[in-house]
A and B are shown apart, each in its own frame.
Chain A
């Protein structure tokens, strides 16, 4: 007899207007309690949060919500996408998160994002502190300079999935469980053409928040920062800069981990995240 395990995660599609256009957005949910909205990295999707969304301790305390940004995972690009060049901006990203959260009835959620998600939570903490109850930035930095020619990510003579996974593979920590390493890279291999590159427009250009992060008021919006020591995209130094610049923020470097903590080693990541979530629950 083979055993079957059914996960507690439920997936649905949300049809709503976003950024002035009808969209079909894929959403996953699990658990009950404080709403916790989880934001995936550039060029990936909700599957990165499979560990947290299967963690009984988390699910007893949080209503965990994750959604694929438009163009990502199982969310469609808007009609007419074939005539468009996808480029994520700070304003569109923030509006998407707030609109999707409101549509799901997630009242003042705790928001946790990684990489581009770790950047946008800084924007949310700064500009929309009234709409969220706190922010957790994973691999958060105020800005990243491109360190390779981004044009390689989207050209007809290079396979997009191969190049995206090839570029990011070293961002996974070296002692990550092999199954989780390759699961994480598989998500990158499945991204649509130009989507990772379009996200990096926000990450490397439009989303630069260096000159404003000091204005984040952690009394209004508590902020926690967790960063893997092997991340060379958003480095531990980038997070240290944020920690030293934003009064009241709390930060920690995660030993042995890389750029995708929740996906590359969910168990090890939970040992860092659980104390943060406990604090968040206490703050209400």
Chain B
């Protein structure tokens, strides 16, 4: 499965199937932009569930905050066991591979939710071995 399909298909599927993760995010309602290189995805979260993932291009995207990195950095981040410096959103931030912008309150008050949600589409060790 390519990266696009993982984000559009697997991300909502995995998050919404994780009852405890959804419960932890039950007060979270936000829409954020995930940018993988030039490709944009607007992701809406309603009460901890991923309600929609809308890939760009879009002429009038609306979002509260965005997470931006180039495609190769995200590819590294989604490896089964990522290399040091690519293994965590804040590691990518430290090394200036990731930029966070916008109104960050929904993200900063739910960091563990977002980290787990995004990590849920990492390759499995079996997939990585192929």
* Chain A residues engaging chain B, CB cutoff 8 angstroms: 147-148, 152, 157-159, 162-163, 165-167, 169-171, 174-175, 229-230, 232-233, 236
The residue in chain A whose Cβ has the minimal distance to the Cβ of B90 is A170
Contact with A along B72-92 (1 / 0, CB 8 A): 000000000110110111110
Contacts of B87 in A (CB 8 A): 170, 174, 230
Contact B81 A166 (CB under 8 A): no
Q: Give CA–CA (A271, B5) in the complex, Å.
A: 42
Contact A158 B90 (CB under 8 A): no
Q: For A232, give its contact among B81, B85, B112 (CB under 8 Å).
A: B85
The residue in chain B whose Cβ has the minimal distance to the Cβ of A144 is B94
Number of residue pairs across A and B with beta carbons under 8 Å? 57
Contacts of B108 in A (CB 8 A): 152, 158, 163, 166
Contact A163 B111 (CB under 8 A): yes
Contact B109 A170 (CB under 8 A): no
Contact A162 B111 (CB under 8 A): yes
* Chain B residues engaging chain A, CB cutoff 8 angstroms: 81-82, 84-85, 87-91, 93-95, 104-105, 108-112, 115
Contact A229 B112 (CB under 8 A): no
Contact A232 B91 (CB under 8 A): yes
Q: For B112, give its contact among A166, A171, A174, A236 (CB under 8 Å).
A: A166
- Using known A-B contacts A169-B88, A174-B81, determine if residue A147 contacts B93 with beta carbons closer than 8 Å: yes
Q: Give CA–CA (A232, B91) in the complex, Å.
A: 6
| Residue in B85, B90, B104 with the greatest tally of chain A CB atoms within 10 Å | B90
Contacts of A147 in B (CB 8 A): 90, 93-94
Contact A169 B94 (CB under 8 A): no
The residue in chain B whose Cβ has the minimal distance to the Cβ of A145 is B94
Contact B93 A158 (CB under 8 A): no
